[in-house]
Amino acid sequence: MSLDDIRNQFDDDFDFSEDEVWGDPVAQPELFGMTPVQRLVLAFLLFLTTVIISAFCLLVVGKVALPT
């Protein structure tokens, strides 16, 4: 038995296509149907809103005063 015979024997046993091995690619779900840039802008706007509301609350409570 030669090396070619052994190789051919294994080629016959493992005859799979790439689709059988890897399967169909699964689509990545989109978050709320937005692109990554839109999600970045939304996150930035939420952060900015949080900063503004927090600063306003500190002014109302009197922990921070505007310079006069």
Percentage of the chain modeled with pLDDT above 90: 40
CA distance 33 to 27: 13
- Within a domain: 45: yes
Could you report the per-residue pLDDT of 37-68, keeping only the tens digit for each?
A: 999 999 999 999 999 999 999 999 999 988 87
- Within a domain: 67: yes
Q: What pLDDT shows up at residue 67?
A: 84
Q: What's the half-sphere exposure (Cβ side, CA atoms, 13 Å) at 67?
A: 0
What is the rounded end-to-end Cα distance, in angstroms, of the chain?
97
Q: What pLDDT shows up at residue 54?
A: 97
pTM, to two decimals: 0.53
Instruction: State which residues form the domain around 50.
Output: 33-68
Mean pLDDT of the 19-31 span: 71
The total domain count for the chain is 1
- Within a domain: 38: yes
Mean pLDDT of the 20-37 span: 76
Maximum alpha-carbon separation in the chain: 97
